[in-house]
């Protein structure tokens, strides 16, 4: 309120009146240009242009399933929200991504075929709330200042004022980005790829959380620098808006990180991880059974937690271990544990040096020479492998501190998928509860499960299809943007049934209730020459604290192997017309919420007579 009062007082001044007149003249010039142009409105999704907004929106709705007016009404979007929505869609389309589900397509043509009706508009609103979408994707996008022309006249005045303010603000934000690029005090936002600093600001994949924080601070610093130095980069109006936008981004990332690292300050989660025998045996074996790798080595442990892996490295013969931990509490605990075990570096003796802070801030808290580390060690994996987004921090550390040819452990990661049967759901439990049939509860739970990913254990005998590899990562060479991907795969029925998933002898069908994902990480012979190790979270392996990640179909799909008598009139995927294979496409991308991921799943069944049926895409957030 104080800012608004101050601004109103300024508007009463003569200089401000002249400035407003200049702005109005600019708008008149812009509007004159619009009137002289034809076919000025470019479609959000294709190359077609239209001379009127109304025709454009009708085209977007009928051809691309994007009803702009309905979305505005349903979500109650104001001018700013609508402005950001248009920019968000243009950014997504330019990257061949679905604006609704986030799926990444191979080409714009594939994207056109993929576009579908919104699954849940209220959930989608979060996708474009970020203020970074105030930056136009197109410099001369006439749609941005004309999309409200067909709205009610009652809001014309308020809309015009908001439009003028927004256009001025956007110009200032673009100026700020230019200043950041030339500010010698601005932080290196892409240390592994310095040449990408001029890249698109919306691409978050290569950035760590501290990069986002640094970017926000750089914007704040740039505003203040311009005011102090008098750089000729636009008017000195509404600087608080840019500072506010930058500070909001900083605060959001900071809040998420505080909650995330605060969680790892709980002993319970460390008890769970250390109690995971599969996890501990894999890391302990990879370290202690490969002494030639660790003897005399300098080791960097990213996210050390209790410091157990650092202690293993010291036992294996490392000469120095830098253990980095962002949780204040666990950094203190790790320090005490290293001290109690006689390995803490005290400035003259010892091996382990525990550093409190994020790996991206290591240069500030405890600088070590770049490219001086022999072994980079980390247990970074989250649910569905990529949840928590810690891998970006590991890659940041790799590019900044690992020696050329140095070892990274683990050095490979592989994601798998398979279809699961009724035993992978809650249905069997509710079918017989002390002799009482409560299957109606089980069916409702399965319907709800189709909306959210579930982290739980799926037993090997509940897998009803072949297992397939959907993605592999080489941590020694991969780039951060590879964490976002789209992949197609095919699932065929598993030939050898079991008593828990019996094949109905009469119908010869098996029901697939969804897709389950898991991962393996490898400590391969590339670095672990004496004893390569594989850490698996497979349903066919001993259980781990990662379990598996379950994506339930909205309705189960009937499957059969080989030739099968089908009803030509029955729907594909039903018992009368089971499918012989399921073709799926899965996309994994970073969510708007920091450290979360969005997953879209598209499914198509093919029957033995060649008929196909596609089910609506499902969107999950983890």
Distance between terminal CA atoms of the chain? 38
Helix locations, 373-426, DSSP H? 391-401
DSSP 134: G
Contact 582, 512 (CB under 8 A): yes
Helices (H), 264-348: 267-274, 277-288, 291-294, 308-315, 328-340
What count of other Cβ atoms lies within 10 Å of the Cβ of residue 266?
A: 13
C-alpha to C-alpha distances, 76 to 69, 119, 272, 294, 453, nearest whole angstrom: 10, 17, 44, 59, 29
Distances (CA, A) of 222 to 183, 229, 232, 377, 571: 8, 10, 13, 37, 61
The burial of 221, by beta-carbon neighbours within 10 Å (0-12 exposed, 13-18 middle, 19 or more buried), is given as buried
Give buried/exposed letters for 465-480 (b at 16+ CB in 10 A, else e). bbbbebbebebbebeb
Contact status, residue 218 vs residue 180, Cβ threshold 8 Å: yes
- Whether the Cβ atoms of residue 413 and residue 519 lie closer than 8 Å to each other: yes
Nearest Cα residue to 602 out of 616, 620, 612: 616
CA–CA separation, 298 and 323 (whole Å): 11
Residue 252's H or E segment, with its range, is helix 239-263
Q: Whose CA is closest to 510, among 520, 496, 522, 523?
A: 496
Check if the beta carbon of residue 301 is closer than 8 Å to that of residue 378: yes
DSSP 3-state assignment of 399? helix
Q: Angle, to 10 degrees, between the axis of helix 2-11 and the axis of helix 14-35?
A: 90
The stretches of 119-233 forming alpha helices (DSSP H) are: 121-124, 156-182, 209-229
Where does residue 563 rank: exposed (0-12), middle (13-18), buried (19+ CB within 10 A)? exposed
Q: Does residue 379 carry a catalytic annotation?
A: yes
User: What angle separates helix 156-182 from helix 79-94, to the nearest 10 degrees?
Assistant: 50
Question: Which residue among 204, 360, 388, 602 is the active-site one?
Answer: 388
By DSSP bridging, strand 49-50 and strand 41-42 are antiparallel
Tokens encoding 183: 């500010």
Residue 501 in contact with residue 510, Cβ under 8 Å?
yes
> What distance lies between CA 92 and its chain's CA centroid?
14
> 494 and 464 in contact (C-beta within 8 Å)?
yes
DSSP string, 67-112: -HHHHHHHHT--HHHHHHHHHHHHHHHHTTB-TTT--B-SSHHHHH
410 preceded by cis ω (within 30°)?
Answer: yes
Catalytic residue among 252, 379, 484, 602: 379
Are 380 and 390 contacting, i.e. CB atoms less than 8 angstroms apart? yes
Nearest 10 degrees: CA dihedral of 440, 446, 451, 455?
Answer: 140
Closest by CA to 512, choosing from 437, 566, 575, 451, is 575
Residues with a known catalytic role? 379, 388
């Amino acid at each position: 309120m104080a800012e608004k009062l101050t601004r109103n007082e300024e508007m009463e001044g003569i200089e401000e009146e002249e400035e407003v007149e200049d702005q109005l003249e600019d708008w008149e010039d812009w509007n004159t240009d619009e009137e002289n142009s034809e076919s000025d409105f470019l479609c959000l999704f294709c190359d077609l242009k239209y001379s009127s907004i109304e025709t454009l929106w009708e085209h977007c709705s009928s051809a691309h399933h994007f009803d702009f007016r309905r979305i505005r009404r349903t979500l109650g979007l104001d001018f700013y929200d609508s402005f950001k929505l248009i920019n968000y869609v243009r950014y997504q389309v330019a990257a061949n991504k679905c604006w609704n589900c986030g799926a990444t397509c191979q080409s714009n043509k594939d994207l056109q075929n993929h576009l579908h009706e919104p699954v849940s508009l209220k959930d989608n609103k979060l996708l474009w709330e970020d203020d970074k979408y105030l930056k136009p994707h197109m410099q001369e996008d006439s749609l941005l200042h004309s999309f409200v022309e067909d709205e009610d006249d009652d809001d014309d005045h308020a809309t015009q004022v908001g439009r003028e303010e927004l256009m001025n603000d956007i110009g200032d934000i673009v100026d700020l980005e230019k200043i950041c690029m030339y500010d010698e005090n601005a932080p290196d936002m892409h240390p592994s790829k310095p040449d990408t600093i001029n890249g698109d600001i919306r691409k978050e994949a290569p950035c760590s959380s501290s990069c986002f924080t640094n970017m926000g601070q750089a914007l704040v610093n740039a505003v203040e620098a311009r005011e102090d130095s008098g750089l000729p980069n636009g008017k000195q109006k509404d600087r608080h808006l840019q500072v506010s936008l930058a500070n909001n981004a900083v605060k959001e990332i900071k809040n998420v990180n505080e909650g995330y690292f605060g969680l790892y300050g709980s002993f319970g989660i460390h008890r769970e991880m250390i109690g995971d025998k599969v996890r501990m045996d894999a890391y302990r074996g990879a370290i202690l059974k490969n002494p030639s790798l660790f003897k005399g080595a300098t080791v960097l442990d990213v996210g050390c937690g209790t410091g157990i892996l650092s202690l293993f490295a010291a036992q294996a013969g490392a000469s120095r271990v830098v253990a980095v931990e962002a949780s204040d509490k666990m950094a203190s605990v790790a320090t005490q544990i290293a001290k109690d075990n006689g390995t803490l570096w005290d400035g003259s003796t010892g091996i382990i040096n525990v550093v409190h802070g994020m790996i991206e801030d290591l240069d500030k808290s405890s600088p070590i020479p770049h490219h001086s580390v022999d072994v980079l060690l980390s247990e970074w994996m989250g649910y569905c492998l990529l949840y928590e987004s810690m891998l970006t921090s590991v890659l940041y550390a790799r590019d900044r501190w690992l020696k050329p040819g140095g070892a990274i452990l683990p050095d490979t990661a592989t994601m798998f998928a398979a279809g699961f049967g009724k035993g992978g759901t809650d249905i069997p439990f509710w079918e017989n509860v002390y002799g009482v049939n409560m299957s109606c509860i089980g069916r409702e739970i399965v319907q709800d499960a189709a909306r959210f990913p579930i982290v739980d254990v799926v037993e090997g005998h509940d897998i009803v299809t072949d297992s397939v590899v959907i993605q592999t990562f080489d941590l020694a060479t991969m780039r951060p943007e590879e964490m976002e991907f789209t992949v197609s795969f095919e699932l065929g029925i598993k030939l050898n049934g079991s008593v828990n998933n019996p094949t109905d002898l009469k119908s010869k069908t098996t029901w697939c209730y969804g897709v389950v994902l898991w991962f393996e990480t490898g400590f391969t012979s590339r670095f672990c020459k004496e004893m390569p190790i594989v850490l698996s979270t497979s349903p066919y392996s001993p259980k781990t604290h990662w379990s598996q990640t379950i994506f339930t179909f909205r309705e189960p799909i009937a499957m059969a192997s080989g030739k099968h008598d089908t009803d030509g009139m029955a729907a594909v995927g039903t018992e009368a017309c089971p499918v012989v294979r399921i073709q799926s496409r899965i996309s994994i991308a970073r969510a708007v919420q920091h450290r979360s991921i969005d997953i879209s799943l598209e499914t198509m069944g093919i029957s033995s007579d060649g008929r196909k049926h596609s089910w609506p895409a499902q969107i999950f957030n983890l």
